[in-house]
Structure 1
Amino acid sequence: MKRSSLALLLSLLFTPLFSEDGFTPIFNGKDLTGWDGKPGCWEVRNGEIWCTGFSDAKNWLIWREDEPEDFVLKMEFRWKKGNSGVQVRSEDLGEWMIYGYQVEVASQEKMGLWHHSLLDKESPKREARHLMALAGEEVTIDESGKKTLKQIADAEEIKAHFKETEWNTMEIIADGDTLTQKINGVVFSVVTDYDDELSRRRGFIALQDHGKGCNVAFRNIQLKKN
């Protein structure tokens, strides 16, 4: 193969898909420019961000370019082992630790979860926020932290739309006080958070490595701010 042809092929392989109207790629498909992670824990392979699984402790890969408020975040992800997640509207605690809203990325039985990462274990609101919403649930948290739950779909039927070890699509919609997660085009769960103390309207986007051999990949990460 001629060198020019090889160069063209490689450029196509490592270039993200064209972004949809109004969306901007926030991962360039080549390296971790704009992202900040614990050394040795994250790497780019074939246009994909991979958690290496080398860390025994939790850490996050943080997108540093902005702290968006209202937005739609889209990506593809592939779970193979362990526990991961996608953070939005979150606070940087330093040392690649992130506090705030997380969409779970794990085995099928755990998909659909919204929870509040790194909330103080002694917090009286931990019970309500550790499992903010599960698959098939629409949850409203009032100003005092009280949770009201509405079942909008059967949990097992919803979770069946997630394909373990295969590539899946994720869409996170942040609109005012409401956060919605979709997997493969299906609404998995919804949270509306009015909590006076703990709700957040803006913050960092990040990817989680839960440690202990986590093996997960992300690609075609795109953002549209509203």
Structure 2
Amino acid sequence: MSSPAFFRRPRLLAGLLATAVVCSFSLTAQAIEPVGFKPIFNGKDLSGWEGDVSYWSVKDGVIIGQSTEENPCTKNTFLQWTDGKLDDFELKLEFRLSGTEQANSGIQFRSQVEPDGHVVGYQADMDRSGKWLGGLYDERGRGSLAVRGQSTVVNGPKDMEKTSKGDGDKLAEKINLDGWNEYHIIARGNQLTLKINGETMCTVTDEDEANRDLDGVLALQLHSGPPMTIEFRNIQLRRLPLEGRKKVVFVAGSKSHGYFSHEHNAGCLLLAEKLSQTDLAVQTAVYLNGWPTDVTAFDNADTVVCYCDGGGRHFLNPHLQEFDHVMARGTGLVCIHYAVETVPGKEGDHFLKWLGGYFEPNWSVNPHWTADFKSLPKHPITRGVKPFSINDEWYYHMRFVDGMEGVTPILSAMPPRETLNRKDGPHSNNPHVREAVLVRKEEQHVGWAYERDNNGRAFGFTGGHWHVNWQHDDFRKVVLNAIAWTAHAEVPKNGLQSPTPTEEEMKSNQDYPQPNNWKFAPPKTEVKQTATEKPAAQLVAKKKSLNLSTAAR
């Protein structure tokens, strides 16, 4: 079961994401059509939700938050949706609030969780008195942003331009205080709209960059006070395409090989953080430990990054049809290291369609060696990247699409003979790879770009066994550039610049404890003498002569 994590910039910088670097997006990118509403409450139990079960329960398809004389609520308590987080979205749910006029509740969205567990930020308000119902409140923040019937432009915590959008009392007549009502929340960038029973209650344009939030958690509130009951049912979420920034979804596999190798969680978290530290206008979401339980995880993704165990254990294998719909929308795909491997058959055929190539057992091999990338093609992914050499478990002799149609090699090197010293086996050696390397002397492609017929883009990268290699600036930049390229963002002339991770950053979020005798050793940083760049067009022209993917299977 996957757990989500989001990397956020400080509020000031997060606010800038909605408007900064809009010109960086590729004009050839296809607009992503919004996917429909999906239920995020199963109607049976609190799977995917977390809160104090002394107050929260499920009965007859309804989430119930309840305080009583015997079990009073002395401070606000929250039920948080834990399968994912929110950025741009529409949420629809039905609610019913019972109790005295002091009964109060709300729906927290794009909110943050403080150390004491209090959920703070935007709240779609509700109360039995009807005073706050339909208004937008900033919990533990700027207070009331708009009441029912108002339209507000928020310039700062005490600078709000409020105008009438309707008669609050007449809007209240549309609400059944004693029965079920539908709340509809729309958050698109800094534009927020609250509706109840189809009627717009208030709108807010949040220009307060230092205090607004463009992403965060969803939670339901049970307010402190006299006994009350709040009920929710039919909770549905629809993610919206982001405007002015790209959405990158990382999916990290579960723990694997050992300390500082195949560190899928730590690797994804580090790459997401470094991506957010570049000048790219980007929103990142990281789902940890396997396939997301969030049914909306990919619905507004511009690209998906997979870093996980592969072969028969690849988390995409049981979800081919589901993920094929994601790829059919033109969403990008990046597969790192073991994530490029699956099994032949329908799985391999899907990888060829999505990624342009994959590690095929008994065809590809997985030795450890120092790849020497003496020259690089002229391509957005290589912008700002210098030729380099580095030791890794560089898989090679990939199974590519026939004729390498749509494939552009990005990282290519000649493996040394020693990489084929092992006996024949599914991953170690085979006659096909010996013929290619030892007889035909063909450079092997360990990083490649792929352009699909539907304008979708992909990148396969066979490095990433050693976690420490992410500290190498060119190694890391190739992957960050590729993520941006697959998301149809324009890669800057000098590539995406990110600060070199510190030793402490590299050691954070590891799946295994640090061994007692382990010492940190940085990756090799030797840069080979710069050679003349090979235009991508020349590489494409040579593809047929390489004859890597058309041999008989």
Give yes or no for TM over 0.5.
yes
Select which of 73, 80, 83 maps to 1:65: 83
C-alpha contact (below 8 Å) 2:135/2:194 kept by paired residues = no
Instruction: Normalising by structure 1, report the TM-score.
Output: 0.83
The answer for the alignment partner of 2:47 in structure 1 is 33
- Taking the aligned partners of 1:137 and 1:97, their CA distance within structure 2 comes to 27
Which stretch shows the higher mean deviation, 83-92 or 188-197?
A: 188-197
- Aligned residue number for residue 164 of structure 2: 151
- Shift of the alpha carbon at 1:93? 1.2
Higher relative contact order (CA 8 A, sep 6+): 1
Question: What is the correspondence of 1:5-16 to structure 2 with a 5 Å cutoff?
Answer: none
**In percent, how many aligned pairs have the same letter?**
34
After TM superposition, give the deviation of residue 111 of structure 1 in Å: 1.2
- CA displacement 1:46-68 (0-9 Å, x = unmatched): 10001121322211100011111
**Is 1:84 aligned to residue 105 of structure 2?**
yes
TM-superposed CA distance for 1:39, in Å, is 3.0
Counterpart code for 1:41: Y
Deviations 1:35-84 (A, max 9, x none): 11023010001100011213222111000111111100000001112110
Contact 1:68–1:202 under 8 Å retained in 2: yes
Answer yes or no: is the 8 Å Cα contact 1:104–1:110 preserved in 2: yes
Q: Is the CA contact 1:38–1:96 (under 8 Å) kept in the aligned structure 2?
A: no
- 1:1-226 matches, cutoff 5 A: 22-53=36-67, 54=71, 55-81=73-99, 82-107=103-128, 108-119=130-141, 129-142=142-155, 146-212=159-225, 213-226=227-240
TM, length-normalised to structure 2: 0.35
CA distance in 2, matches of 1:144, 1:86: 21
Distance 2:229 2:37 in 1: 27
8 Å Cα contact 2:85-2:215 kept in structure 1: yes
Residue 145 (structure 1) shift: 5.3
Q: How far apart, CA to CA, are the structure 2 residues paired with 1:134 and 1:144?
A: 16
- Measure, in 2, the Cα distance between the counterparts of 1:34 and 1:102: 20
Change (3 A) 1:111 1:143: closer
* d(CA) in 2 for partners of 1:77, 1:42: 14
- 1:78 maps to amino acid: R
4+ residue runs over 2 A deviation: none
SS at match of 1:156: helix
Partner SS state of residue 145, structure 2? coil
Q: What amino acid does structure 1 have at the position aligned with 2:233?
A: R
For these two proteins, the number of residue pairs brought into alignment is 197
Unaligned runs of 5+ in 2: 1-34, 241-553
* Gaps in structure 1 of 5+ consecutive residues: 1-20, 120-128
Partner Cα separation in structure 2 for residue 150 and residue 143 of structure 1: 16
Amino acid at match of 1:206: A
Please state which structure has a larger fraction of its residues in strand: 1
Corresponding position of 1:13:
none
**Does the aligned pair in 2 maintain the 1:144–1:196 contact within 8 Å?**
no
